[in-house]
């Protein structure tokens, strides 16, 4: 008796699968992570209760989630836009750091009223992040240099530069603790009344809106999507793939840079080395989960923000290492690409009595 597995490429994907995939993905990842929790002799049900229910049912948890969402959604968009064009920006972390460096420098050294200083710092941070992503974008557009490697390597460079600056030229009055001087009060995001979340939250929402309109309503957005789905056809239709590539990296990098400054201005108050808990890398699964639209990027960012906030609760309540959150993230992507497979193929598993000798088993080679 033989197990035969038949794979068939789907002609079209049923709607329940399109909308169900992210849900199954998350559920699958949480189920896998539960194994790790059990290994640590933590009850996964209680742990997930702490992580999600407690986080989302009290005002403090909600505020923290909103705050964490800001850098995550901005770096998420920085990965999302190039992804629309079929490119990988795995260096949002570096762009975040460069934005934080320039934004902080402006926020410490330029004396202006808040209405001018905050926008100026945001602009500076955006330009810095845009340039940092623009280098790999240009190399890819002009010479076809693999953008995955260059964006990632530039991240290591950016983190080292920030580390050098806050220990040297930008070192502020903190004694021996490495860090810049405190931002001027006029450079700090005001708090939104009632919500009690810093104004960077609005910046994040604005970025989502801008991206959504850009992708869905503008000619450039159309070209980005076209190039992403079929670069050869796009080139034949007279579109410049190079222009599109450069554009998505410049705009994406700018978002990540603004995300860096937002974290300094709204939360930290001063630039420290290694201030980011890998926001820019978390952006990769965020963009993957939300690749069908900017609003979905926002939803995915909120989900990961809950993971961050809930994860640190878990750490306090159960002594679970924070790195577990990293593992859950990776498992989300693992489940995501597995789910992709089921979106593309329908699998027919049968128990057969006899197998014909010519029966090639494409999917069963494992």
Partner 1 sequence: MVGFAAGLLDAAVRASTVFIFAALGEIISERGGVLNLGVEGMMLVGALGGFATTVVTGSYWLGFAAGMALGAALALIHAFLCITLKSSQVISGVMLTLLGTGLTTYFGTDWVNESIDGFPQMTLPLVGEYLVGIPVIGEAFFRSTAPDFIALALVPTVWWFLFRTNLGLEVISVGEDPETADTMGVDVFKMRYLCVLLGGAFAGAAGAHLSLAFSQLWATGMVAGRGWIAVALVIFAQWRPERALVGAYLFGLLDALQLRSQGIDLALDPASPLAGVVNPALELLMHPTIMSTYPYLATIVVLVVTVVRFDDSRLGAPSALLEPYSRETD
Report the residue from 42, 73, 139, 307 that binds partner 1 according to the rule CB under 8 A.
139
CA 151, CA 89: separation in Å to the nearest integer?
Answer: 6
Q: Is 173 in the site for partner 1 (CB under 8 A)?
A: no
* Cβ-contact 180, 119 below 8 angstroms: no
Span near partner 1 by CB under 8 A; candidates 112-120, 192-200, 225-233, 355-363: 355-363
Only one residue has tokens 């498992």, namely 331
Q: Is 230 in the site for partner 1 (CB under 8 A)?
A: no
Q: Is 154 in the site for partner 1 (CB under 8 A)?
A: yes
Q: Is 115 in the site for partner 1 (CB under 8 A)?
A: no
Report the residue from 179, 253, 260, 285 that binds partner 1 according to the rule CB under 8 A.
285
CA dihedral 349, 354, 355, 357 (to 10 degrees): 180
Residue 200: CB minimum distance to partner 1, A: 25
DSSP 140-179: HHHH---HHHHHHHHHHHHHHHHHHHHHTTTB-SSTTS--
Comparison of 196 and 340: residue with beta carbon closer to partner 1: 340
Residue 79: CB minimum distance to partner 1, A: 10
Comparison of 285 and 310: residue with beta carbon closer to partner 1: 285
Span near partner 1 by CB under 8 A; candidates 11-19, 51-59, 148-156, 211-219: 148-156
Span near partner 1 by CB under 8 A; candidates 110-118, 164-172, 195-203, 216-224: 164-172
> Phi then psi for 355, rounded to 5 degrees?
-110, 135
Collapsing DSSP states into helix, strand and coil, what is residue 364?
Answer: helix
Q: Is 267 in the site for partner 1 (CB under 8 A)?
A: no
CA 25, CA 39: separation in Å to the nearest integer?
Answer: 22
Comparison of 63 and 291: residue with beta carbon closer to partner 1: 291
Span near partner 1 by CB under 8 A; candidates 98-106, 123-131, 280-288, 293-301: 280-288
Comparison of 187 and 288: residue with beta carbon closer to partner 1: 288
- How many CA atoms does the CB half-sphere of 37 hold within 13 Å? 22
> Phi then psi for 48, rounded to 5 degrees?
-65, -35
Span near partner 1 by CB under 8 A; candidates 3-11, 99-107, 214-222, 249-257: 3-11
- β-strand 191-192 against 2-9: which pairing, if any? unpaired
Comparison of 61 and 137: residue with beta carbon closer to partner 1: 137
Comparison of 121 and 325: residue with beta carbon closer to partner 1: 325
Find the largest Cα–Cα distance for the chain: 82
Q: What is the DSSP letter of 351?
A: E
Touching partner 1, residues 300-329 (CB under 8 A) = 321, 323-327, 329
- How many CA atoms does the CB half-sphere of 50 hold within 13 Å? 18
Comparison of 163 and 225: residue with beta carbon closer to partner 1: 163
For residue 227, count other CB atoms closer than 10 A to its CB: 27
CA 168, CA 181: separation in Å to the nearest integer?
Answer: 12
Burial class (CB in 10 A: 0-12, 13-18, 19+), 268: middle
Binding residues (CB under 8 A) for partner 1: these are 7-9, 36, 88, 90, 139, 143-146, 148-150, 152-154, 156-157, 160-161, 163-164, 167-168, 281, 284-285, 288, 321, 323-327, 329-331, 333-334, 337-338, 340-341, 344, 360, 362-363, 365-366
């Amino acid at each position: 008796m033989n197990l035969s597995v038949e794979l068939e490429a789907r002609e079209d994907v049923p709607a329940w699968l399109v909308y169900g995939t992210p849900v199954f993905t998350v559920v699958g990842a949480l189920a896998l992570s539960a194994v790790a929790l059990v290994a640590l002799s933590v009850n996964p049900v209680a742990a997930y209760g702490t992580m999600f229910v407690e986080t989302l049912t009290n005002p403090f948890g909600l505020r923290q989630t909103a705050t964490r969402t800001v850098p995550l959604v901005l770096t998420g968009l920085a990965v999302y836009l190039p992804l629309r064009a079929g490119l990988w920006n795995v260096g949002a972390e570096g762009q975040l750091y460069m934005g934080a460096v320039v934004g902080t420098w402006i926020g410490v050294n330029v004396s202006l009223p808040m209405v001018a200083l905050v926008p100026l710092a945001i602009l500076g941070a955006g330009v810095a992040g845009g340039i940092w992503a623009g280098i790999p974008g240009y190399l890819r557009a002009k010479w076809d240099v693999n953008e995955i490697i260059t964006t990632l390597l530039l991240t290591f460079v950016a983190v080292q530069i920030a580390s050098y600056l806050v220990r040297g030229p930008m070192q502020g009055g903190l004694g021996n603790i490495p860090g810049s001087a405190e931002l001027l009060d006029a450079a700090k995001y005001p708090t939104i009344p009632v919500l009690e979340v810093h104004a960077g939250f609005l910046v994040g929402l604005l970025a989502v809106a801008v991206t959504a309109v850009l992708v869905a309503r503008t000619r450039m957005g159309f070209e980005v999507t076209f190039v992403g789905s079929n670069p050869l056809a796009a080139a034949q239709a007279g579109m410049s793939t190079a222009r599109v590539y450069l554009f998505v990296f410049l705009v994406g990098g700018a978002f990540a840079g603004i995300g860096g400054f937002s974290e300094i201005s709204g939360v930290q108050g001063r630039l420290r080395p290694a201030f980011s808990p890998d926001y820019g890398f978390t952006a990769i699964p965020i963009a993957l989960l939300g690749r069908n639209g900017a609003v979905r990027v926002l939803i995915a960012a909120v989900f990961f923000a809950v993971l961050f906030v809930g994860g640190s609760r878990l750490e306090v309540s159960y002594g679970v290492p924070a790195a577990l959150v990293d593992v859950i993230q990776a498992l989300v992507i693992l489940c995501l690409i597995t789910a992709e497979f089921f979106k593309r193929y329908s699998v027919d598993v049968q128990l057969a009595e006899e197998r014909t000798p010519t029966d090639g088993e494409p999917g069963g080679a494992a």
